[in-house]
Every structure is written in structure tokens, then in C-alpha cells.
Structure 1
């Protein structure tokens, strides 16, 4: 397996980007999953609800000699139906922390963690769209924690015709993090929840 350097990201959470969630254990587990599956992956575009996060993504890509063009949107609102069945790689590090429902829906840094009931309110809005977006060879990576009930998420998306498994998992303090990987095609099952 080829090792990739950790992206330069020291600007996240600082100055102009103080309203941006700094990479932490969940971000690094997602990066590890992508590195693990590097042979399966191509290129992707980024979407975000937080304008500062989109600008931070541009800066991160610039510092790492990449060219990304983030799209400001609520989930994938502006991408359907134009990208229906055309997305090869879909990454979602959603707000997954269990919070009161009133905290969900902000546009600042709180949008990065406030997941509402079971930490799933934003995820549950997104799940019906995933199968529509993915190409036949597409892969969808989702960051979850135990509180989100990963087993139930695997079953729920299976009802939409997506095969899923746990790509990687890791204990991070009190949280058990999971990267769930889904596709419309068969892939090797790595782990169970």
C-alpha cells in the first residue's frame, strides 16, 4: 500500500478559518480509508454548507498543490439531477454528534458536529440521495460513531440497493469511529461493526 503524506492543514481553525472544524480523529480515519482504497478512487469535487470551510478547502488544496473547486450547497441540493448517476467518489463526514434538534441546521462551525437526535438528522436527510448520485462503479464513504447505529445505516442503505461494509474503525477517546463504505457493485468485505 502506497503511503501518502498528511495534507498541510495548519490554517484550519485559525484566523479567517476560525469557523472551520479542524481535522481530528474522524478526518484522519477518513483519510486512512481513502489511502487504503487509493486504487479504487479517482478525483472528486467538494461540497460544504459553511462558506469558510469551502474557502479553507481551497486553501488546503493550494498548500498541497491540488486544484479543488468546492461548491456551497446544503448536502447535494444543487447537484441533482445534473449529476445523477455520475459520482464516482462521494465522501461524507457529517455532523454526527448527538445534540438537541434545535442545534441542527446552522451555517457556522456548529454545523460540523450538531447531528441532532441519534446524531443522524443530517445523515438521514442525505441517505435517500446517495443511490441516485452514485455511478455504477461509485463508492460512498461515510463517517459515523457508535451512537449513530452503523449496523442500522448499513441495513437502511442496503434497502436502496447499496452494498456496505466497515472500511475502517478506530477508538478515539470515548468515541468509536467507523468509516462505512458503500457501492452499487460488489466489493470485499473488510470488517463488521
Structure 2
């Protein structure tokens, strides 16, 4: 079993403004560990995490794959970007944190070049204006406020996943049961040619969490 990344450098003050790893994070770590050998076999060059928060996921992936990979991490919250870089340093993984929304400024440079994408999105159903406000302000609320059906932010990024993924790329997404997972999977297949599997699922209190893995219909 791989150790959880060391976050001892982050304080309670940090977690007042940056999402603290919780059950969704730990389920994601378990999913990545379950796929560790497959991910190594990909021999990835570029990994991209959307909404990196504390940097826990990318640091964990870095400890699986090693230093030969470029680890890009984006977040709308500047405090999260700082914490992500600190977590990389603490865990001896170089994480390049970029303070942007999703991956919009990077699309042209990364087109069909990202081998692994990680996204633990804001999936909690809220009022639409709550999600929009949190995203525009770049606050901690942007880590959980998902708008209508908890899918507003996620749906925006899903439109670009196929454009970013390399030929053998893998995209991992966290979703709630209330997000209508069958619809997400079917839409990604019909609109973008990306097949999917549920890697892991787990109940955490009132939440039923899923990790979904997407890849192209045909692999090179």
C-alpha cells in the first residue's frame, strides 16, 4: 500500500481557504493505486490535475510515476496553487501549479498531449449563482459548489477532455450518484468517443462517490 502524501506542512489556516483532503480524495487515491501498474505502462509524459487544492492527488501520482513526468496542476484559488507547490516540495515531486480556470489557457499547447488527467470537481448540487460566484472569486467554495445538478463546472470541462487527451490517455473523474453517472458516461461516448469504466465507488455518509475512468474507443 502506497503512503498518503505528507501534508504536515499545511496548517489549519491553510485549510480555511483550501479544500482539505476528505473521503472523495481518499477514494481517488485508492483508484490511482489500483491502476498504478497500468499508469506506469503508459509511460506518460504529461499529467494534468484540474482543481488541485492541496496537491495531494498529484503528489501521490508523482510518487507512482516518478520524476520523468511533467505534473501540471491548475486551480482558480491562488492559495491552492501555493499549497500544491508546497505539497510537491514536501513529497519530493515537482508540481507546477497554474492559477487559471480549468485549463483554458493551456488548450492549444496541450492539444492531444496529456496522458493522464485528474479532476475532483465541485460536484455538490447548489444554486447556479452560488457556483458561478465561487468560480469567479476563486474561493474555497469553488471546490464544492457545483451548481445545477452539481454538474455545471464539470460539464464545462467535459467538453474539452477529448481535445486534451493523448491517443492512449486516461481521464479520471469524481462524481456523485446524484450527478447521474449513466448520463455522464453515455454523453462522453456519444459526443466525444470516450469509453468509460467505474474504477471504484464508496459511500461516505450521505454521499455515494464514484471514480470514473475515460479513454478513447480505440487505443494505439
| Alignment TM-score > 0.5, same fold | yes
In structure 2, how many angstroms separate the alpha carbons of the residues matched to 1:34 and 1:172? 18
Residues 12 and 18 in structure 1, CA contact (< 8 A), matched pair in contact too:
no
User: Alignment partner of 1:78: what SS?
Assistant: helix
Write out aligned runs for 1:11-160 (5 A): 11-12=9-10, 14-41=12-39, 42=44, 43=69, 44-105=71-132, 106=134, 107-159=138-190, 160=192
**Paired residue for 2:61?**
none
In structure 2, how many angstroms separate the alpha carbons of the residues matched to 1:184 and 1:128? 14
Residues 193 and 217 in structure 2, CA contact (< 8 A), matched pair in contact too:
no
Which is richer in helix? 2
User: Once structures 1 and 2 are overlaid, which stretch shifts more, 57-66 or 112-121?
Assistant: 57-66
* TM-score normalized by the length of structure 2: 0.80
CA displacement at 1:14 relative to structure 2: 2.2
CA displacement at 1:27 relative to structure 2: 0.5
- 2:213 equivalent among 181, 184, 193: 181
How many residues are aligned here? 185
**Paired residue for 1:4?**
2
Instruction: Describe the shift of the 1:16–1:150 C-alpha distance in structure 2 as closer, same or farther (beyond 3 A).
Output: same
Deviations 1:81-136 (A, max 9, x none): 11100000000000000011111132110000000010000011111100000001
**Paired residue for 2:54?**
none
* TM-score normalized by the length of structure 1: 0.91
User: Alignment partner of 2:183: what SS?
Assistant: helix
Instruction: Describe the shift of the 1:75–1:13 C-alpha distance in structure 2 as closer, same or farther (beyond 3 A).
Output: farther
Residues 9 and 90 in structure 2, CA contact (< 8 A), matched pair in contact too:
no
Residues 20 and 52 in structure 1, CA contact (< 8 A), matched pair in contact too:
yes
Please provide the CA RMSD for this pair: 1.5
Consecutive unaligned residues of structure 1, counting only runs of 5 or more, are 188-193
In structure 2, how many angstroms separate the alpha carbons of the residues matched to 1:186 and 1:36? 22
Determine if the alignment matches structure 1 residue 170 to structure 2 residue 197: no
Which portions of structure 1, spanning 4 or more consecutive aligned residues, are displaced by more than 4 angstroms? none
Residues 13 and 22 in structure 1, CA contact (< 8 A), matched pair in contact too:
no
In structure 1, how many angstroms separate the alpha carbons of the residues matched to 2:173 and 2:15? 24
